[in-house]
Amino acid sequence: MKKFFTLIVPLFISAVLCAHPEAPTPPVNTDVMWHTITVVDYKPGTVDEAKVIIEKFETASETAGATLPVIYWFESGKYDLIVTWKLKDGPADLQGKWSPDGNTWWNALVAQEGSEEAALQLQATYNELIASSVTSVARKAK
């Protein structure tokens, strides 16, 4: 009987402890920088028009004092452009909200284009130039 209790009691305690395990809390990693990386394939013959519009977007960013993305133009391959943005607040920046930089940038674009309708039309024109794009989230150790 003593062997029975020495075997059952530890099993019972283990079962109770494991029955309701607490979910592990992921550590907050301040040694990581988060970015979005977007590759863009423009419709044939529209790259030059896209570059002109992107220059307007960059001018609005500079006027607003907003963070500029890092962009690279491909010389070969499927895609025409790669754009990387640093996410200041990590993945939380992707929650579908406009950042203060985004609002400031939009206001600068509206002022630059003369009206909200003109800014919306510029953005729509740019979107029409895109054949496809893929956005991914990446992290990098600081």
For residue 24, is pLDDT > 90? no
DSSP state of 83: E
Which residue from 81, 85, 82 is spatially nearest to 69, judged by alpha carbons? Answer: 85
The confidence score (pLDDT) of residue 28 equals 54
71 to each of 31, 54, 108, 109, how far by Cα in Å?
A: 24, 10, 20, 19
Give the residue ranges of DSSP H helices in the chain: 2-19, 47-64, 100-113, 116-128
| Residues near 77 by beta carbon (within 8 Å), at least 6 away in sequence | none
- The domain ranges of the chain are 32-141
Determine the average pLDDT of the residues in 53-82: 94
Residue spans of alpha helices (H) in 26-82? 47-64
Would you say residue 7 has pLDDT above 60?
no
| Residues 81-104 pLDDT 10s | 999 988 887 877 777 656 666 788
Q: pTM of the full predicted structure?
A: 0.73
Share of the chain above pLDDT 70, in %: 75
Q: What pLDDT, on the 0 to 100 scale, is given for residue 100?
A: 66
**What is the distance between the alpha carbons of residues 71 and 39, in angstroms, rounded to a whole number?**
10
Q: What is the pLDDT of residues 111-139, one digit of tens each?
A: 999 999 999 999 999 999 999 999 999 99
Q: Does domain 32-141 have CATH number 3.30.70.100?
A: yes
So what's the pLDDT on residue 103?
Answer: 85
Give the gyration radius of the chain's Cα atoms: 25
